[in-house]
Amino acid sequence: MEFAKSLLAHTHIGWTRVKAGESGDLVFRREDGLAYAKIAPSARSADLAGERDRLLWLEGKGIAVPEVIDWREAEEGACLVMTTIPGVPAVELDGDALLKAWPSMVRQLNSLHELPADQCTFDRSLSLMFAKAADVVTRDAVNQDFLPPEDWDRSARELLDRVERDLPMRLAQEAIDGVLCHGDACMPNFMVDPHSLQCTGLIDLGRAGKADRYVDLALMIANAEEIWATSAQGEQAFSILFETLDISKPDRERLAFYLRLDPLTWG
């Protein structure tokens, strides 16, 4: 905590710690509410620098994401200061409100997907993420909390082998349907105006890069289903999602594949 305070001391403005992310980074809110600071220990400084670079690349491209205000790096870690995206995280909405906000959230994500992927140098390809998963499994670092209950009794190696069996098919699909993905399109990363229920922007883009669009669609649906009280709401949102994206035949097996891969990439 002391190194975090030292990295923020130069601003001469008060900061309040608001959360610690799943990555272990510390997040602080500036007292005027107009900026946030994310602070990573030295072991994660490169990852935080990657998020900074992605935000800088997205500047001026018409996507509602935080703007980089400042970057500080020291022996103990690094600090990224960004503008605030107004609103509340979609995870804080109830099921009815989330369903009303849903179409604008889909459109916001699609605006990212529609950017020219061939101009983006950031890679979140399946081959890269599978290699990351293999490393996590080899180190026995899979976080069971990220796994669905039905997989709790399976070994990490078994879970990885299950993903690997489908790898050739999914690599071929990625080559056809690759876009610029958010990479972690979960409900905490969609900001929503609580009054108008319109999506105001996207945050936490440290995993953004070229990938199969189903990477984002799978996480978006699965994470939101934890908020909806009924399966009917979930099915309605599923239909809205793919109708908005003009995808007439959603590939449920492809969605399931990326949901099996994602939990293995976080250790």
Q: What is the pLDDT of residues 150-166, one digit of tens each?
A: 999 999 999 999 999 99
Which candidate, 213, 216, 254, 212, places its Cα nearest to that of 125? 212
**Alpha carbon separation from 125 to 11, 121, 122, 259 (Å, rounded):** 37, 11, 9, 15
Contact 85, 201 (CB under 8 A): yes
Looking at the structure, tell me whether residues 159 and 206 fall in a common domain.
yes
The answer to whether the annotation marks 143 as part of a ligand binding site is no
Residues in the chain: 267
Residue 8 and residue 27 in one domain: yes
Please state whether the predicted TM-score (pTM) of the whole model is above 0.85.
yes
Catalytic center residues: 184
168-206 pLDDT, tens digit per residue, is: 999 999 999 899 999 999 999 999 999 999 999 999 999
Both 27 and 96 in one domain: the answer is no
Dihedral, 137, 139, 144, 148 alpha carbons, nearest 10: -10
Q: Which of 37, 61, 83 is the last residue of a domain?
A: 83
> What share of the chain has pLDDT > 90, as a percent?
85
- For residue 79, with 0-12 CB atoms within 10 Å meaning exposed, 13-18 middle and 19 or more buried, which class applies? buried
How many independent structural domains does the chain possess? 2
Q: Is 110 annotated as a binding residue?
A: no
At residue 13, φ and ψ (nearest 5 deg) are: -130, 145
